[in-house]
Structure 1
Amino acid sequence: MDFLRSILPAGLSDMENYITKSVTRTSLLGVCLVVLLARWILTKRQLPPGPWALPIIGHYKLLLDPKIHEACARLSDRYGPVVTVQFGPTKTVILNTIETVMEALVKRRADFAGRPPVPSGMQLSEGGKDILMAQYTPTLKLHRKIAGSALRNYLKGPRLQAAVQDSMGQFLKLVEETNGKPFVPHAFVDLVLFNMLCGVCYQKIYKFDDPKFKHYADIDNQYTAEFGMGLMEDLYPILAKVWPTQRYKKVVWLFGQLLQFVNEELEAHKRDFDEGNIRDFTDCLILARKEAEKEDDPEVLSQLTNVHIRQTISDIFLGGLDTSRFTIQWVILYMADNQHVQRKVQEELDRVVGRDRLPEVDDRPYLPYTEATLYEVMRIASVVPLGMPHTAMVDSSVGGYTIPEGTMIFINHWALHNDPRHWKEPSKFDPERFLNSDGTLARKPESWLPFSAGRRACIGESVAVPELLLIFSILMHQLSIKLPPGVVADYSPESSGVIGYTANRYKIVAEKRF
């Protein structure tokens, strides 16, 4: 600076000041850039590795892959169990091993209990007022507690049993009417699960030809198909506000139709509610609201509005409907293609249940092979392969890598269920992997996680397993199924990706067992 002063003519102090300030600013800017660059390099080293992605566009080929879960699992071979991929402009972390999943969901469960506020989730949940997509707040804790308690207490043996047996009665009648000819079982499965959930939530049973059932079953199938691999608006949220696609509009409309069905039943239950006669899950939620009104607790009442209640019902009804029907569709295909397994299940059922009655909830402890077979189907055909997305609620870490706050995380359930470190010949259908050497049901394998874990684990697990087991048991007890003559089993899915992994429209032949 002395040199500058020596060459500046007298009277140019303003220029001197200007140059002094400029040099200072440049120095500060340079220091800031160096610090930012250093931080970026350090952060980059700590972030989970992953393939290079196009800016803004991301890994579009991966996103378009109908078996995205398998593609993500293959990335682990190169990048390790924690992989960063980019969907649109958003970096997303995929966890591909049970060790990293347990670290995130159990060891650091508070860190990863969030949900991404994507446009479709916020739109369909009426602003995050459900259980599935809501943020982890006191309101969510209250709803999970009420819903979980209602499911456990209301759906004890007799009520669950009645709902399943009533639903299966129609299924068996429809199968008999096929007269041994090949048929696609999907619509019959839809009826069973639609009725099962209607029995649980509304104490109602519909006939197969009922226009209301047909309408809403068709709406739900359309909704699942349209949602498919996800929506463009969830990658680029600005689109939902200024230029939503036709598919986004259709998904919102279809879900609105399903929510209308839920709301109609809720309003009908409110009109004839009787505190001394709690009939179903919906009545349980109304009762919780009534009790809050008696205690005059404004905070609880604000968390149990009509919107909250109908969204909770929709989570149980629609969430339970889709995952359960997808599972039963795969169960039927695997039984038709694995006759030796089917015979062993039937032999166990005949030995325990006999031929004079239907299987019941109380038979479960004595049907280890039947239950193991159901578990194996749930493993090999993971119906929600990437699960529901999580978000980091704070800066955290998994597998030694930094996970910044707000990062979206997917659990690759398919990868867990096909990890050769935990499963011998994972592509082989083998129910005995869930049994001890003496034929009893083994402790659930560590890497079997169809209902997730931690603070966002599925609240319906306590009902879903006995429900599915009872449906499967009645099916095998009453019917023998096989593929049509000359037909080879096709395990390619009808749809896959983010929403669900559904079986193709295969055909079977079924005969009544006597």
Structure 2
Amino acid sequence: MFLNVNPTLFNIFCAFLTVWVIKHLFNFINRLQKLPPGPWGLPFVGYLPFIKKDAYIQMTELAEKYGPVFSFKCGQFDVIVINEVKAIEEALKNDHLLARPASTYVPGLKRDPSLIEMSGEPWRQQRRVALTILRNVGLGKSTLEEKIKEEIGYFIDSLKSAHGNEVDFGDEIKTSVSNNISILLFGHRFEYNDPIGSEMRRNMKQVIENVPYFSKFMFMPVMLVFVSLAAHFSSDLRKMTSNQKELEKKVTKEVAKHREKQTTHEIEDYIDGFLQEMDKQKDSNTSFNINTLRRNTSDFYAAGSDTTTHVLNFMMLYLVTHPEYQQKIRDEIKQTIGFERQPDYADRTSMPFTMAFIYESLRMATIVPLNVHRRAAQDTKVMSYSIPKDTIVILNFWAVHRDPNLWNDPHSFKPGRFMSDDGQKVIKSPNLMPFSGGKRVCPGATLALIELFLYLVSIVQNFQVSASERDEIHDEAKYAFLRMVKKPVKLNFHTLKVN
């Protein structure tokens, strides 16, 4: 039996459908004309199903085919990938490319955005206050450096207690490095066997290792409707959301302790400073609230712990793979510091090869190969390329750090590329971009460099670092949101016998 359809209504429906198709076809053609060339995808999902695990390598390969700036549809969004250093430098200076996507990185959590996820005026306010607080409690000051050196003292003692036996360096270094950011955020460190500190590090590890850069939930927010169902079937998603919640719960307990002791106006750490700012703005409708404090602190803890840890993991592999460089660093230590006192960050000016080794480690490791996603707040341009409003913009630092036009033999580890011709000075290339740049440059860049120098020099000053003969050492990486060593870094630390 056929349904009786009113011809007039049917004609109206067909007319509306035709207009809708023409409109979307026009928008599609108009979009293609504005955007740089790039690979085609499928209806609705775009190129998303074709993106590989090592997306930064794939983006670099696509640039060879489509040009240094290319685009593709990814889920619900247009994406532009910038792979060339001059275009990246221009993008970093473009105030219209400071926004973040509105969709979430970790699905299934109803929460206020953190400073890292914010855009516009809320981001400017949060960043300004965060930097002020962190500087006031020691960031960039000698007081914090002394606390880092004290923490490194505990770390060196921990390695010595292994008596030359094999050590899982990744676990040991994460325990130590996370204490430096804990001092800034919470006002205290955790003992190495503290169960709360151990659990926070475990939560952080599970989140970071399960957040894919091209998350289907970020690029297809419509899927968040099904996130509960997806979490039921996906173990990775369950791990990510549950561990993020657990990490934020522990931060909430730290905040509660700070509120209980808030009887004076003395600011000892980031939580103290944020709570004081909350009191100042309690009658205003701002982002300074407990939820944002919890989110900021969780993200700062993860960023301040994990990034430096991963660089140091790679750095140890380079030390073991190139024992001649380990000896050159030790020679500089002998000439500048000796083997009795701890290094100071100021010693770097007399240790050019050591700094060159650090810069080359940052280039080779490139633990953030693709920047934290940016969104065009309005129509803009980079070089001669149009970037329409709400386009997601990706900066490919991996492509810059592996560009043979910028680096001779870019796939080889050569600290000498950062040295002057006479070998007396270190020269930091503007093409090295480990901390991004512009107004959204990593606020912890200085802290990271201090840590990298002090940990590296302290380790080489005290130990001969080697791998077991049965272990094959290589810097093979795995990638989620960060690039990290694929296998545990298990090394031997033999205490030096210095005459």
Alignment TM class, shorter chain as reference: 0.7 to 0.9
Matched, 1:504 2:492: no
Distance of 2:435 and 2:34 partners within structure 1: 30
Map 1:107-186 onto structure 2 (within 5 A): 109-120=94-105, 126-128=111-113, 130-136=114-120, 138-153=121-136, 154-186=138-170
Distance of 1:354 and 1:50 partners within structure 2: 55
**Judging changes above 3 Å, is the alpha-carbon distance between structure 1 residues 338 and 222 closer, same or farther for their aligned structure 2 residues?**
same
| Residue among 160, 182, 206 paired with 1:198 | 182
Q: Which residue of 1 aligns with 2:203?
A: 219
Q: Which residue of 2 aligns with 1:77?
A: 64
- Assess if the C-alpha contact under 8 Å between 1:43 and 1:402 holds in 2: no
**Judging changes above 3 Å, is the alpha-carbon distance between structure 1 residues 418 and 121 closer, same or farther for their aligned structure 2 residues?**
same
- Assess if the C-alpha contact under 8 Å between 2:209 and 2:480 holds in 1: no
Distance of 2:482 and 2:102 partners within structure 1: 17
Q: Which residue of 1 aligns with 2:3?
A: none
Q: Which residue of 1 aligns with 2:80?
A: 93
Q: Which residue of 2 aligns with 1:44?
A: 32
Q: Which residue of 2 aligns with 1:6?
A: none
- Assess if the C-alpha contact under 8 Å between 2:106 and 2:240 holds in 1: no
* Deviation of the 1:242 alpha carbon: 3.4
Matched positions, count = 477
- Assess if the C-alpha contact under 8 Å between 1:147 and 1:312 holds in 2: no
- Assess if the C-alpha contact under 8 Å between 1:143 and 1:312 holds in 2: no
- Assess if the C-alpha contact under 8 Å between 1:164 and 1:471 holds in 2: no
Secondary structure of 1:127 counterpart? coil
Map 1:21-420 onto structure 2 (within 5 A): 41=29, 43-60=31-48, 62-63=50-51, 65-106=52-93, 109-120=94-105, 126-128=111-113, 130-136=114-120, 138-153=121-136, 154-229=138-213, 231-244=215-228, 245-246=230-231, 247-273=236-262, 275=264, 277-290=266-279, 292=280, 298-299=283-284, 302-420=286-404
* Deviation of the 1:267 alpha carbon: 2.0
**Judging changes above 3 Å, is the alpha-carbon distance between structure 1 residues 38 and 278 closer, same or farther for their aligned structure 2 residues?**
closer
Q: Please identify runs of 4+ aligned residues in structure 1 that moved more than 6 A.
A: 35-39
Distance of 2:33 and 2:108 partners within structure 1: 37
Unaligned runs of 5+ in 2: 1-7
Distance of 1:230 and 1:43 partners within structure 2: 22
Q: Which residue of 2 aligns with 1:15?
A: none
- Assess if the C-alpha contact under 8 Å between 2:48 and 2:214 holds in 1: no
Deviations 1:325-351 (A, max 9, x none): 111111111111111111111111222
**Judging changes above 3 Å, is the alpha-carbon distance between structure 1 residues 205 and 476 closer, same or farther for their aligned structure 2 residues?**
same
Map 1:474-513 onto structure 2 (within 5 A): 474-493=458-477, 495-513=478-496
* Deviation of the 1:305 alpha carbon: 1.7
Distance of 1:135 and 1:476 partners within structure 2: 42
* Deviation of the 1:37 alpha carbon: 6.5
* Deviation of the 1:90 alpha carbon: 3.1
* Deviation of the 1:124 alpha carbon: 5.7
Secondary structure of 2:465 counterpart? strand
* Deviation of the 1:223 alpha carbon: 1.6
Distance of 2:31 and 2:214 partners within structure 1: 30
Distance of 1:403 and 1:229 partners within structure 2: 21
Deviations 1:380-435 (A, max 9, x none): 11112112000111112224222211111111111111111111111111112222
Secondary structure of 2:97 counterpart? coil
Secondary structure of 1:120 counterpart? coil
Deviations 1:28-57 (A, max 9, x none): x89x95x98677546423311112212233
Q: Percent identity?
A: 22
| Residue among 413, 417, 432 paired with 2:416 | 432
- Assess if the C-alpha contact under 8 Å between 1:492 and 1:503 holds in 2: yes
Secondary structure of 1:358 counterpart? coil
- Assess if the C-alpha contact under 8 Å between 2:370 and 2:397 holds in 1: yes
**Judging changes above 3 Å, is the alpha-carbon distance between structure 1 residues 408 and 125 closer, same or farther for their aligned structure 2 residues?**
farther
Deviations 1:427-477 (A, max 9, x none): 111112222224454453222111112232212223222222222222222
Deviations 1:158-178 (A, max 9, x none): 332233223223322232233
Distance of 1:39 and 1:227 partners within structure 2: 32
Deviations 1:235-294 (A, max 9, x none): 32222223432243432221111112222112212222365643223333334345x26x
Distance of 1:39 and 1:233 partners within structure 2: 24
More displaced stretch, 155-164 vs 182-191: 155-164
More displaced stretch, 321-330 vs 497-506: 497-506
Distance of 2:214 and 2:79 partners within structure 1: 14
**Judging changes above 3 Å, is the alpha-carbon distance between structure 1 residues 161 and 36 closer, same or farther for their aligned structure 2 residues?**
closer
**Judging changes above 3 Å, is the alpha-carbon distance between structure 1 residues 86 and 512 closer, same or farther for their aligned structure 2 residues?**
farther
Secondary structure of 2:92 counterpart? helix
TM-score by length of 2: 0.87
- Assess if the C-alpha contact under 8 Å between 1:152 and 1:463 holds in 2: no
**Judging changes above 3 Å, is the alpha-carbon distance between structure 1 residues 156 and 68 closer, same or farther for their aligned structure 2 residues?**
closer
* Deviation of the 1:510 alpha carbon: 1.2
Deviations 1:147-198 (A, max 9, x none): 1223334224433223322322332223223322333211101111121211
* Deviation of the 1:122 alpha carbon: 7.7
**Judging changes above 3 Å, is the alpha-carbon distance between structure 1 residues 258 and 437 closer, same or farther for their aligned structure 2 residues?**
same
Q: Which residue of 1 aligns with 2:4?
A: none
* Deviation of the 1:367 alpha carbon: 2.5
| Residue among 450, 460, 463 paired with 2:434 | 450
Secondary structure of 1:501 counterpart? strand
* Deviation of the 1:81 alpha carbon: 0.6
TM-score by length of 1: 0.85
Q: Which residue of 2 aligns with 1:8?
A: none
- Assess if the C-alpha contact under 8 Å between 1:84 and 1:93 holds in 2: yes
Greater radius of gyration (CA): 1
Secondary structure of 2:95 counterpart? coil
Secondary structure of 2:158 counterpart? helix
Q: Which residue of 2 aligns with 1:11?
A: none
Letter in 1 for 2:38: G
Distance of 1:327 and 1:213 partners within structure 2: 21
